[in-house]
Structure formats: C-alpha cells, structure tokens
C-alpha cells in the first residue's frame, strides 16, 4: 500500500492558510523556553485539532509530525518516551481525556504511523515496535474505525469525535488490514448481530477487506468468515459469484429456467438472513422475478409459512413495494420487507392502506432536498424514504440515533414501529408531506412548526425516516419539556406517555431528587423496579409493551457521562439460568462497556435482533428512571436485602458516586 503523505513532503495547497499558521505556531513552540512550552503547545494543539477536522488537511499535520516533535510538542508529557507507551491506554485517552491531552494522543498516533512506515527515523522506538503499537490500538478501538458514536463520543468537547474518526480512517488506510484483519472481521460480525438499520459503514469496511484479500491473493482470513461477508455483499449466488456487474448479471438471469432461478433465490435468501446484509444483485434479481416468476418471491425473501401467508394475502402491495422501493441503491429494503412480512403486521387493518399511501406520498421540497443531500439523487427522494420505511418496519430495534445528541426521538420511532406501526406511518406522512407533525400534550396540540423554533440541522449517520422525522420529534419533545417547567417532578413523568403512547405506564419512579441530583430513597427505587419487572416478584407478569426508561450512562471507567433514553423490552431467564433485562438502546452500537464489570451484551444470551441485555442487578445499577402500571402491584417486600445492597453498591461506585446526600 502506498504512503499517503511522507514526512518532509510539501503539503497540499488546500489548507495552506492553516498550514502557515501551524508552521508559525510550531516555530514559536521551538523557540520557547522549557517553562513556557505549555502555553505555546496549547496554540499548536488547537490549530492541529482544527486541521484534523478535515481529512484533506489532516495529511498536512501528518507531514509535519517530525517538526512538531523536534519543537517540543511532547516535551515534559507522558508521550516524551514513545517506547513505554501502552496501546491499551491510548483509546481511553482519546475518548475520555480533555481536549489537549486527547490531541497529544492524536499526534502520537501520527508519529507512530510515520515511524512505522519508515518516514521518520526515531531514536526512541523502532519502526516494528511502532507498527505493532498501532495494530493493537486500532484493534482495541474499532468503534472509532466504524464511526459508531456512543454517549461518551457525543460528550467529547471541541469536535474531538470527528477528529478521532478521521484519524483512524487515515491510520487504517496507511497501515493496512493484515495485522488487524481478524479483529476487524470479528467486530463486523458483532455489529451485524445487532441487525442495524444503517449498514453503509459496515459495507464500506467489507469492501476494504475484499480489496485486501484480492491484493494478497487470499480467499479467507484467519478462519473468521471474511469470505461469507464479502460474498454476501458482492457475490452471494452461483451466477454472481465473480461479481460480474449488474448489467451482466441481469442478462444472465433473463433466460434462466425455473430451476436455475430457484437456486439463485435460495442462495440470496441464505446470504441475507445469515449476515443481515443484502447484495445489489439481490435487488436486480427480486425486481426480475416479481414480474417474471412471482411464485419464487417467498424463496428469494427467505420467508417462513407466516411470511408466505402474508405475501399471499397482500401480493399486489408487496410487488408494488418491490418495483418502487427496491433498487441496487436501496438493497436493505429487501431485508426489511422480508422481516416485515414475518412480523405479520400487514394483517393489522390500517397498515396495508398506509403503505399504499406511502407509495404515492408527495414529499415537500425541503424533505426532498434533505434526502437528496443525505442519500443521493440516483433515485427519487420518495424511493429512498419508502425503502427506509420498509427497513424500519422490519427491524424496530435496529434504528440508531446517528449523530443526533438526543435519543428520545429514535426511541419513539422504535417503539412505534414495534407497537403501533400504523401510527408510525401516519407520523412519517405528516413530516414528509406537510413538514409538520402535531401531537397532543394534555389535550393541547403541539406543533413541530410554530414560529421561533430553531431550524433543524441536517442529521448524519441516520436512515431516511430519521432524517425526515427526527427533527420534528426533537422540537415537539423540547416544547413538551418546556410546558413541564416548574413542576416539582421529572418532566418525563408526563412527556413520555404523551409522546410515545397510551401503553406507557402511568406510574414513574426516579432514583434522584430533581432539584439536587442526589439519590432519593434508592433502596425503595430498587425494590419497586424488581416488584414491577422481575417475574419472581411481580407474579410472573411479562412486559406487554416496551416501556421507556432512563439510564445513567457511564464510560469504561464507570464514570458518569449523562442521562440516556432506552426502552425495556422484556425480562426473562437466559439459557444459563440468569435473570436478564433485554432492552433497546438507540446508540448505533449497543454493545458497550459501562465500567466496573458491567458490559452490555448483544448476542449469546438469548437476545433478539437489536436487543441489548444485562443481568438484572447490573441493569438496575445503571437505571435512574422507569415507568410501571400502578394498578399492577408486585411484591417489593420480597426482594432480598443482599440483592438491594449489591445493586446500591454498584451504583454508588459508578454514576451515583457523590450523589449520596
């Protein structure tokens, strides 16, 4: 792999103004006395940070890393001796340290890369050592490679999340995948097990892996299943195996007999359900057979008897959805369509008419522009939106909040898709067609379009439905919160039920005093949760509808990050006999380390697609708010005292530290 920019090369001209400022600041740093280095270092780090926000100027910083070190950027810091640095600590510094400290780690990454690529001879560390360091760092921080921000990322100041993601893309481009390939593949499978709605980054990474395998004449890597991932995207069937191109593939299937078509259909379905990814060839094939051989649609979609029956009852609608919304640019709509049929929601009387309406829905000019900006102009905005609707209806727990700092809107879309899909379709039609959503709050209409509201910013890393609907929901949520100002309890007691739906429990418990933020009757809070949700203490009552809840998000060091909205899906015993809470987390990646041994699982413990899970004590140790039905009283007195003490200790040693009055 060729180097991008070497040390000592002339920088590109695009960032010449920033580069000149950086050079001047570096010169001042070099001339400064040791006791004044800190003040001049801050100016250099800030300029470097601003340049690293853009990948085009990132390379200019990388080309100056030797000059920066010679000027004393690392002098008197932990990075002054690169040979003693530990890869395991690097990612934590990037994610949780203050901006200046994190920027020193960023520059250290660039220094290690220059040394590893032999662009910079360093007396303190060998190129092989630097190469191994970077391989370990990338393998340990794949969340930065995949650009899936969590709550900690959103809490980082000064756009450091964007800096980190740009940095890791640059490092991976330069270091190559050989040393980290097995870890990357394992990470891809871990993310796919959650069945996310947005998979563009995953497909892009698989494309990089495919190129690496071809360049290195390898059919597989490390036994981890790279071939399964690559084939699922680029060649899942006999006739598409060598990735012939869509035009060539379409010509191949034009005159294929029924037996050959049946083989292709089954192969497409296997690859799709195995990985959760859909090939562009699958879209071409499905469009063809929906007209030429519709009897093969159940096989091509991988349907069970339930899905096949739904397809048979609504065949005209399904074929219309395929012809309108399924294209090589919208392949994931096929997976959404398959799972939507399997859910049987078309049998709900309003859903099929609402989908017919969706097919003919006119979009406002602003929404057409939003979708074109985010998803391209190859297809009409309505095609992208309808494809997004199908994916969301098929994967209610796969939706992520993307770069949106609020999580309530993503949770609302998830809950409506799961519980009330016809209401979701109504909300989408209002937002897309009318540029306005109206939801009542305590009998009064709340509009997303009154004067004086801050215009919505363009969301990224989200699906088409979220791009259109979430700004409206965020504005309504903010207005509902404002109407609760002055009430002596947490606003979610009223907002959650009015925003999400009638099925939200009328009762609400909160672990902290709203005025002070200190714990309030935390033992009682724990008892009441167990009485409401634990089958051994609530009479075996299952969770009927997903219930909104709030967690105190903590990072990998168990430090408090912020409040975060989730929904409780169910509470059940896993295959090992442990009681677990299964919940939906709007974060794009729900497998998170919340510190002190509380590690969220997304597979291997009976999780369904999109669910996260924790043992019930671990979950409650991070819980601060939940809803329940006050008419369904459990047995709080039966909760063991030692269980309460264990949960209390885990909370007070993490997010609740310092909150004990």
**pLDDT per residue as tens digits for the range 66-101:** 999 999 999 989 899 898 788 878 888 888 888 999
Please write the tens of the pLDDT for every residue from 482-526.
999 989 889 999 999 999 999 999 999 999 999 899 999 999 999
Burial class, 641, CB count within 10 angstroms (exposed 0-12 / middle 13-18 / buried 19+): exposed
Range in 27-36, 335-344, 425-434, 502-511 with the lowest mean pLDDT: 27-36
Q: Which of 122, 143, 176 is the last residue of a domain?
A: 176
Residue 500, H or E segment = helix 492-500
Bridge partners, residue 566, by sequence? 549
Distance from C-alpha of 421 to C-alpha of 333, rounded to nearest angstrom: 16
Does 222 map to a domain?
Answer: no
Q: In the prediction, which pLDDT does 115 show? A: 93
Distance from C-alpha of 287 to C-alpha of 324, rounded to nearest angstrom: 9
Q: In the prediction, which pLDDT does 414 show? A: 97
- Strand, coil or helix: what is 447? strand
Q: In the prediction, which pLDDT does 178 show? A: 66
Query: Considering only CA atoms, which of 413, 436, 440 is closest in space to residue 425?
Result: 413
Q: In the prediction, which pLDDT does 8 show? A: 35
pLDDT at 213 over 90: no
pLDDT band at 193 (very low <50, low <70, confident <90, very high): very high
Q: Give, to the nearest 10 degrees, the angle between helix 87-96 and helix 99-116.
A: 140
Distance from C-alpha of 634 to C-alpha of 649, rounded to nearest angstrom: 24
Distance from C-alpha of 451 to C-alpha of 176, rounded to nearest angstrom: 52
Residue 548, H or E segment = strand 547-554
| Tokens describing residue 500 | 């999400």
Please write the tens of the pLDDT for every residue from 451-466.
655 555 677 789 999 9
Greater confidence (18 vs 434) lies with 434
Print burial letters for 58-77: b (CB count within 10 Å at least 16), e (below 16).
bbbbbbbbbbbbebbbbeeb
Does 469 map to a domain?
Answer: no
Does 512 map to a domain?
Answer: yes
Contact 99, 120 (CB under 8 A): no
Residue 583 φ then ψ, to 5°: -140, 160
Please write the tens of the pLDDT for every residue from 261-283.
999 999 999 999 999 999 999 99
Does 486 map to a domain?
Answer: no
Q: In the prediction, which pLDDT does 11 show? A: 38
Does 165 map to a domain?
Answer: yes
Does 160 map to a domain?
Answer: yes
Using only the alpha carbons of the chain, give its radius of gyration: 27
Range of the domain at 522: 507-652
Please give the angle made by the CA atoms of 162, 164 and 167, to the nearest 5 degrees: 110
Distance from C-alpha of 177 to C-alpha of 65, rounded to nearest angstrom: 23
Please list, in sequence order, all residues whose beta carbon lies within 8 angstroms of the beta carbon of residue 186, skipping any fewer than 6 positions away. 224
Q: Which of 156, 176, 196 is the last residue of a domain?
A: 176
The total of structural domains in the chain comes to 2
**Percent over 70 (pLDDT), the chain:** 92
Greater confidence (227 vs 240) lies with 240
pLDDT at 472 over 60: yes
Residue 277 φ then ψ, to 5°: -110, 150
Q: How many CB atoms lie within 10 A of CB 84?
A: 10
Q: Helix %, strand %, coil % for the chain, to 5?
A: 55, 10, 35
Does 318 map to a domain?
Answer: no
Query: Considering only CA atoms, which of 293, 269, 295 is closest in space to residue 281?
Result: 269
Bridge partners, residue 568, by sequence? 547, 583
Does 110 map to a domain?
Answer: yes
Distance from C-alpha of 217 to C-alpha of 502, rounded to nearest angstrom: 58
Contact 473, 399 (CB under 8 A): no
pLDDT at 227 over 70: yes
Contact 237, 268 (CB under 8 A): yes
Distance from C-alpha of 30 to C-alpha of 32, rounded to nearest angstrom: 6
Q: Which of 128, 160, 176 is the last residue of a domain?
A: 176
Query: Considering only CA atoms, which of 297, 431, 280 is closest in space to residue 366?
Result: 431
pLDDT at 412 over 70: yes
Query: Considering only CA atoms, which of 99, 308, 338 is closest in space to residue 195?
Result: 338
- Average of per-residue pLDDT values in the chain: 90
Greater confidence (343 vs 97) lies with 343
Please write the tens of the pLDDT for every residue from 35-50.
888 889 999 999 999 9
Please list, in sequence order, all residues whose beta carbon lies within 8 angstroms of the beta carbon of residue 627, skipping any fewer than 6 positions away. 496, 497, 504, 505, 506, 507, 508, 547, 548, 549
pLDDT band at 3 (very low <50, low <70, confident <90, very high): very low
pLDDT band at 177 (very low <50, low <70, confident <90, very high): low
Q: In the prediction, which pLDDT does 95 show? A: 81
pLDDT at 151 over 90: no
Please list, in sequence order, all residues whose beta carbon lies within 8 angstroms of the beta carbon of residue 502, skipping any fewer than 6 positions away. none
Cα–Cα distances in angstroms (integers) from residue 102 to residues 95, 128, 141, 167, 301, in the given order: 8, 24, 14, 12, 47
């Amino acid at each position: 792999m060729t180097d991008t920019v070497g040390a000592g090369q002339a920088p590109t001209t695009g960032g010449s103004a920033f580069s000149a400022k950086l050079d001047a600041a570096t010169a001042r740093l070099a001339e400064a006395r040791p006791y004044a280095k800190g003040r001049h270092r801050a100016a250099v780090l800030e300029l470097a940070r601003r340049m690293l926000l853009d990948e085009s100027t990132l390379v200019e910083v990388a080309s100056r890393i030797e000059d920066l070190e010679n000027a004393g950027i690392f002098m008197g810091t932990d990075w002054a001796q690169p040979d003693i640095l530990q890869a395991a600590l690097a990612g934590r510094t990037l994610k949780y340290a203050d901006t200046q400290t994190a920027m020193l780690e960023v520059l250290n990454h660039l220094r290690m890369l220059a040394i590893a690529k032999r662009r910079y001879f360093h007396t303190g560390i060998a190129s092989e050592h630097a190469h191994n360091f970077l391989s370990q760092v990338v393998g340990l921080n794949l969340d930065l490679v995949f650009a899936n921000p969590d709550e900690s990322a959103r809490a980082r100041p000064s756009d450091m999340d964007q800096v980190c993601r740009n940095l890791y893309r640059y490092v991976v481009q330069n270091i190559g995948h050989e040393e980290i390939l097995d870890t990357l593949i394992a990470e891809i499978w871990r993310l796919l097990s959650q069945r996310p709605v947005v998979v563009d980054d995953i497909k892009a990474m698989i494309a990089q892996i495919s190129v690496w395998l071809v360049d290195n004449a390898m059919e597989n890597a490390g036994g981890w299943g790279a071939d399964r991932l690559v084939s699922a995207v680029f060649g899942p069937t006999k006739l598409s195996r060598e990735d012939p191109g869509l035009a060539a593939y379409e010509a191949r299937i034009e005159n294929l007999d029924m037996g050959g078509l049946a083989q292709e259909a089954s192969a497409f379905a296997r690859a799709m359900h195995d990985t959760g990814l859909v090939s562009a060839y699958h879209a071409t094939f499905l469009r063809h057979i929906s007209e030429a051989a519709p009897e093969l649609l159940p096989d091509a979609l991988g349907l069970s008897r339930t899905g096949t029956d739904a397809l048979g009852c609504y065949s005209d609608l399904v074929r219309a959805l395929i012809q309108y919304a399924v294209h090589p640019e919208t392949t994931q709509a096929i997976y959404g369509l398959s799972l939507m049929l399997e859910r049987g929601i078309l049998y709900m009387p309003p859903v099929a008419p609402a989908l017919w309406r969706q097919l003919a829905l006119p979009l406002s000019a602003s929404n057409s522009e939003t979708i074109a900006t985010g998803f391209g102009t190859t297809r009409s905005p309505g095609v992208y939106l309808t494809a997004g609707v199908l994916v969301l209806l098929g994967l209610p727990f796969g939706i992520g909040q993307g770069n949106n700092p609020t999580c309530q809107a993503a949770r609302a879309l998830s809950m409506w898709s799961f519980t009330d899909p016809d209401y979701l379709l109504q909300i989408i039609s209002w937002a897309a067609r009318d540029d306005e959503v109206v939801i009542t709050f305590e009998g009064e209409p709340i509009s997303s379009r009154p004067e004086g509201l801050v215009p919505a910013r363009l969301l990224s890393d989200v699906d088409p439905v979220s791009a259109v609907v979430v700004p409206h929901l965020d504005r309504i949520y903010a207005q509902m919160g404002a109407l609760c100002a002055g009430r002596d309890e947490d606003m979610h007691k009223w907002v959650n039920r009015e925003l999400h739906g009638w099925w939200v429990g009328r009762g609400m418990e909160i672990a902290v005093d709203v005025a002070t933020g200190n714990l309030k009757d935390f033992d009682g809070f724990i008892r009441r949760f167990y009485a409401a949700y634990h089958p051994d203490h609530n009479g075996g009552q299952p969770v009927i509808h997903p219930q909104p809840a709030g967690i105190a998000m903590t990072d990998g060091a168990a430090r408090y990050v912020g409040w975060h909205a989730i929904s409780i899906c169910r509470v059940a015993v896993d295959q090992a006999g442990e009681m677990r809470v299964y919940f939906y987390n709007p974060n794009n990646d729900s497998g998170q380390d919340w510190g002190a041994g509380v590690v969220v699982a997304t597979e291997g413990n009976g999780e369904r697609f999109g669910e996260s899970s924790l043992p019930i004590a671990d979950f409650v140790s991070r819980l601060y708010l939940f809803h329940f039905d006050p008419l369904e009283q459990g047995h709080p007195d039966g909760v063991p005292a030692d269980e309460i003490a264990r949960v209390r200790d885990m909370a007070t040693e993490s997010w609740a530290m310092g909150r004990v009055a």
